[in-house]
Structure 1
């Protein structure tokens, strides 16, 4: 059974709302045969990454960059997973109170280095999550999970 690994840093109520919407989309009953595994960025391991067939990444934009927790995740898994995960699909969402450009660039640079393939463009969300943002996250989760069916 294909496995989707959701790696997230969820330090705020806004990030929690978005994370729950992503999980809801990824675990929609119409998406059959995909196991969804959730790991906080600080506890996700190279083994988690190697055992997954695709990835969904969630991070706040902190001072113009991805969270330290997600950066730590990438620092930990980069070389152990570099060759074995080449070409695997991924999606991402970034939330910021201001701009998300730096965080999006960092995600793009790191995932390009890993040679992961985006299923869709990463979501850039700012301000308090509204129904449109939650819907976008739901669709992101569903789309990435469905790509593994």
Structure 2
């Protein structure tokens, strides 16, 4: 069975709504054969990352950057997972009050270094997530999870 790891930092109602939509998409009954593992960024481990076949990353944009919690995950896991996870698929959702550009750029820099493959457009939301934003989060979760059934 394929394993999808969701590494998230969910400190606000907006991030919680986006996280729940991503999980709902990834765990929809239409997708079989994928185990979805959810880990807060500060609890995600190197073993979690090594055991996963794909990744969903969720973070608020804090001061123009990814959250410190997601940065800690990458700082601890980067070199231990570098060679073993090349080519694995990932998706990304980001929430900001004003702008998410710096956070997205930072995460894409790290994932490029890891050799991960972005398999869906980034879901980037500023302000309170609306119905279309939450639908995009659902589709992100479903797309990344469904892609794992094809390998």
**TM-score, length-normalised on structure 2?**
0.98
C-alpha separation in 2, matches of 1:74 and 1:134: 26
C-alpha separation in 1, matches of 2:131 and 2:137: 10
Three-state SS of the structure 2 residue aligned to 1:121 is coil
C-alpha separation in 1, matches of 2:76 and 2:121: 24
Residue matched to 2:109: 109
C-alpha separation in 1, matches of 2:32 and 2:109: 32
Offset of residue 121 of structure 1: 2.1
Number of residue equivalences: 149
Residue matched to 2:81: 81
Residue matched to 1:100: 100
Unaligned 5+ residue runs, structure 2? none
Residue matched to 2:17: 17
Three-state SS of the structure 2 residue aligned to 1:7 is strand
Three-state SS of the structure 2 residue aligned to 1:95 is strand
Residue matched to 2:71: 71
Three-state SS of the structure 1 residue aligned to 2:56 is strand
C-alpha separation in 2, matches of 1:112 and 1:121: 15
Q: CA RMSD in A?
A: 0.4
Offset of residue 96 of structure 1: 0.2
How do residues 1-149 of structure 1 correspond to structure 2 at under 5 angstroms? 1-149=1-149
C-alpha separation in 2, matches of 1:27 and 1:84: 26
Instruction: List structure 1 segments (4+ residues) > 6 angstroms apart after TM superposition.
Output: none
C-alpha separation in 1, matches of 2:121 and 2:134: 16
Three-state SS of the structure 1 residue aligned to 2:36 is strand
Three-state SS of the structure 1 residue aligned to 2:148 is coil
C-alpha separation in 1, matches of 2:18 and 2:100: 15
**TM-score, length-normalised on structure 1?**
0.99
C-alpha separation in 1, matches of 2:138 and 2:104: 19
| CA displacement, residues 61-89 of structure 1 (integer Å, 9 cap, x when unaligned) | 00000000000000010000000000000
C-alpha separation in 1, matches of 2:120 and 2:13: 25
Offset of residue 109 of structure 1: 0.3
Contact 2:123 2:133 in 1 (8 A): no
C-alpha separation in 1, matches of 2:119 and 2:27: 17
